Chains A and B, each alone.
Chain A
Amino acid sequence: MKHFSPFQIAISLAGALILLFIVAPLVGMFIATSPSDLFATAKDVEVQESIKLTIWVSLAATVIFALAAIPLAYLLARKEFPLKSIVSGVIDLPVVIPHSAAGIAILGFVSRDSVVGKMGSAVGLNFVGHPSGIAIAMAFVSLPFLINAARDGFIGVPVRLEKAALTLGASPTRVFFTISLPLAWRSIVSGLILMFARGMSEFGAVIMVAYHPMITPVLIYERFGSFGLTYARPVSVLFILISLTVFIALRLLSRNKSQNPSTHA
């Protein structure tokens, strides 16, 4: 029989406790929710609308902001410039500040009195209480996940491959699209999914900018405040199931990342 040292037993116990700490509340919530409640909630139009809104706004925020975030990640991976470490710190800022405070900052930034708000009003767009405002709040708190993953992906692409492409007659733009981007792609996709998932689950920043239309985390909060735990629980379970689907997709992708072709070069 295999013997375990006291140290191994101690760290296994500590690990088991932490796992239990994460899993127990979730399992408890799933057990406490009857299938009929879950089914009724899934048919609730308000819940359906809110989940649809949450998914498409987070997706739109991810795609739109990625267009500028990916080039920025490439810049951070490849170029040296003054104050680069400060720029990297600024990018991580949304992760460390309280999200309700981030929401207040964004509200000030997009409200009707601000420059951005006035520009929006000029074209008939009011960010506050609008999906575009929600998208900005989601992007603000979730962008670091994409930028950092994409930057790490670009760092993993050997510079020699880019140099080789240049000597083969390719322009820097062609090198970016045919060599750097495809080889960093798996990391970028991981970052995109992480940003999308993080945006979907955002509550604190979004509620400051837009209570209505209601994204699912706000709807859960509202149902809890107005009707109590029993009514908030089925929406939470449904939303967790959807978030889990995204999370599993992310895990599958990051597992494939170990076969990233750039590591062979």
Chain B
Amino acid sequence: MLELRNISCSLPGFNLSEISFSVAKGEYFILLGESGAGKSLLLEAIAGLGQVKSGSLILDGKDITHEKIQKRMIGLVFQDHAVFPHLSVKENIAYPLKGKKLSNSQKESIITETAFLLQISGLLNRKPSTLSGGELQRVALARALVQKPKILLLDEPLSATDSKLRSELRALLRQINRSGQTIIHVTHDFDEAVSLADHIAIMNQGRIVQAGTPLDVFGNPVNAFVAHLAGIRNFFKASIAQHNGTNIAIAGNDVSIVIGDYTKNSSGFILVRNEDILVSLEPLESSALNNFQGTVLDIFPARSGMEVLIDIGIILHAQISSESAAKFKLIAGKKVWVTFKASSVKLITSE
């Protein structure tokens, strides 16, 4: 098991502050954050390539904070693969085995097995300059795996791949993890995080802002940043009040939204998922308590259907089908009604 205790690192103009989390044996752990959040720096610190200013790194009960890189038994696959260009694929994979107390036949069989697992058996005699990005990624993974690392660190492993290759590589990473390999994987991609992670930690500006299972983290985002990463665009600061027995959140410039939850805190955040907002041309007769008239600001294609930005005093993002957008002839400037239930508004009070 790997444990990070209050790890701080500093580079000119950037700091990693008080990073703490633990990764259990066999776990798939994802560090999610935007570019510049400090994710790669943290990976390098774990691998021993970056200087740790304070805090400690404990691997299987042993303090490795100041252990030599080559003695840590931590594998790192770089974003740009870092496959040695002057060595063949086989020589690359064999690189970590040199100096190990293994016979030549044992080394051969490790290389053959690993190449088979990563489906690169046919590439062993090729030079890296003749390989595609996906093939280089597999070679880099094979090379890191032959040394049987206690932890495998992956820096944005799927960022430079097309969607077909990405799903193949995801399946491969799951397979490697299922064979018992502990993995810490850095990414900025929400879908990638959700599809692979047992546990997830969100990084922003050199800090961990939230950690837990994907369900915990994205079901209960602690702040606007995490909500934004999870694709939730309707996230507003609000003051909370009770009015005639109804719980009200006042967001933006005096927009009163009925909410289901209540807290004694006088302020917090509210979030509404895009897909929970209904758009209509006339006010709807329904049980929903939140009905507002607003103006369409923009409409554009989203991953599924269309995303509509509607100004009701605050700017709401709604998700509608392309058919509905065509039927309502939605364009910027058009007046529409938005409807959502009080129970679809989530209240978050811990920023």
Q: Which A residues form the contact surface with B (CB < 8 A)?
A: 158, 160-161, 163-171, 174, 178-179, 182-183, 261-262, 264-265
Contacts and interface: CB of A to CB of B under 8 A. Distances in A.
Interface in B94-144: 95-96, 98-100, 127-129, 143-144
A167 B86 contact: no
Contact of B99 (A158, A169, A179, A264): A169
Contacts, number: 69
B70 A261 contact: no
B188 to A, nearest CB: 19
A168 to B, nearest CB: 4
Given A169-B99, A264-B128, A164 B82 contact: yes
A82 B220 CA distance: 51
B125 to A, nearest CB: 16
Given A158-B82, A161-B82, A179-B84, A168 B147 contact: yes
Contacts of B48: 166-167
Contacts of A165: 84, 95
Nearest to A164: B82
Contacts of A182: 86
Query: Which range holds the interface residue count of chain B?
Result: 20 to 34
B78 interface: yes
B76 interface: yes
User: B48, B70, B96, B143 — which one has the most chain A CB atoms within 10 A of its CB?
Assistant: B70
21 contacts: A160-B78, A160-B80, A163-B49, A163-B76, A163-B78, A163-B82, A165-B84, A166-B70, A167-B48, A167-B75, A168-B95, A168-B96, A169-B99, A169-B100, A170-B70, A179-B84, A261-B85, A261-B86, A261-B127, A261-B129, A265-B82
A168 B144 contact: yes
A233 B127 CA distance: 51
Contacts of A171: 70
A243 B147 CA distance: 50
Contacts of A265: 80, 82-85
Given A160-B78, A261-B129, A264-B129, A170 B95 contact: yes
